[in-house]
Amino acid sequence: MKISVIGLGYVGISNLLLLAPYHEVFGCDSNKSKINSLKNNESPINDKEVKEYLLKYGNKIIFTSYISDEILCSDIIIIATPTDYDEHIKYFDTSSVEKVIDIINASKSNAIVVIKSTVPFGFTKKLQKQYSNLTIIFSPEFLREGKALYDNLYPSRIVVGDKSEKGKSIANIFKSSSLANDVKLICTGSDEAEAIKLFANNYLAMRVAYFNELDSFALKNNLNTEDIINGISTDPRIASGYNNPSFGYGGYCLPKDTKQLLANFSNVPQNLIQAIVDSNETRKNFIVESVLKLKPSIVGVYRLVMKQGSDNFRSSSIRDIILKLHAKNINIILFEPSLNVDTFEGFPVSNNLNDFANQSDIILANRIDDSIQHYKDKLFTRDLFHEN
């Protein structure tokens, strides 16, 4: 079967490599430098399995920076382009998905279109009405950044927003490409599939927010956060996932998906969904206040990435904290090995860890690793379990 993936972020790349061993596959992204890297079997993202699969199967994949006729002749076209949340319109920016579907429609392609991009509630149904000659199916992904291909190879479940035979065949294509022995297939309506994605990510954000607020309470009352969390998490109904305190949730999905679901609740009574969004901002403000109480002159920020093992700066909570501290006239210095520059967004960058530590009164680290442990006398972190 000929399958094309358009949009090669971590979702697109992980789907492309999942399918590459078993199908004729094409990968498309408008970023030419990314395409050139992929052609050389070099991963543009930090993901162990992606790197391994590129070396093993990369030569089977045809990469291109434009939507070619060959792509349009595919049996299945997977769209995994970015859909950022637009604060002005209170809605995902779905224009990248719509542009691709316009091109597919104009070409008279017979491909089944599978949307992997996260979209608002009701989006797929609206598109299907608009492009009645196309088969458009939404199939959400549930992937961790840095473990995206692993999560596709061993999925917790496969959800497809279509109950027809076409929908079931799409689900089975993903299932047969996985390495898991027993994968639950869930075929629903498109609205329900969109809701599954948004509510799943909101639940994860709620877990992060809950344990962060627990940690704020413990800090305020001079309690041992780790003991409290261990005592709570031994209850199997609660368990230990997503229980590690942080400076707030961030990354590609949780900030935008929580806001989108809140927008979809505009005509529905709710308290919790709003609280999830508000709690993240409250936590960041609490961290800033805690740092200010230590009266630093220079705060060193160790890593800008969202979490350990990630190379993503986008919507990282630490970046908001930097701006809040800067607004309080605190000098900031950054240590970020992935940056080969002297300044980033107006803040000086040090590439020497020892120099960075010596200049800093306090070292702020959302997630820690072995290299920063040597400077623990200056370290301010809430990373208790070094996971999640």
Please tell me the distance from the alpha carbon of residue 74 to that of residue 61, in angstroms, as a whole number: 14
Say if CB 324 and CB 285 are below 8 A apart.
Answer: yes
In whole angstroms, how far apart are CA 90 and each of 120, 125, 161, 269? 11, 20, 24, 18
Q: Which residues contact 10 (CB under 8 A, 6 or more apart)?
A: 45, 47, 50, 143, 145, 148, 252
* Tokens 């927003």, located at residue: 161
The answer to whether residue 253 is catalytic is yes
Q: Is 69 exposed, middle or buried (0-12, 13-18, 19+ CB in 10 A)?
A: exposed
> 28, 73, 187, 253: which one is catalytic?
253
**Within 10 A of 64 (CB to CB), how many other CB atoms are there?**
17
Please tell me the distance from the alpha carbon of residue 101 to that of residue 110, in angstroms, as a whole number: 12
Please tell me the distance from the alpha carbon of residue 310 to that of residue 304, in angstroms, as a whole number: 10
The conformation of residue 80, written as its DSSP 8-state character, comes to: -
Give the catalytic positions in this structure: 253
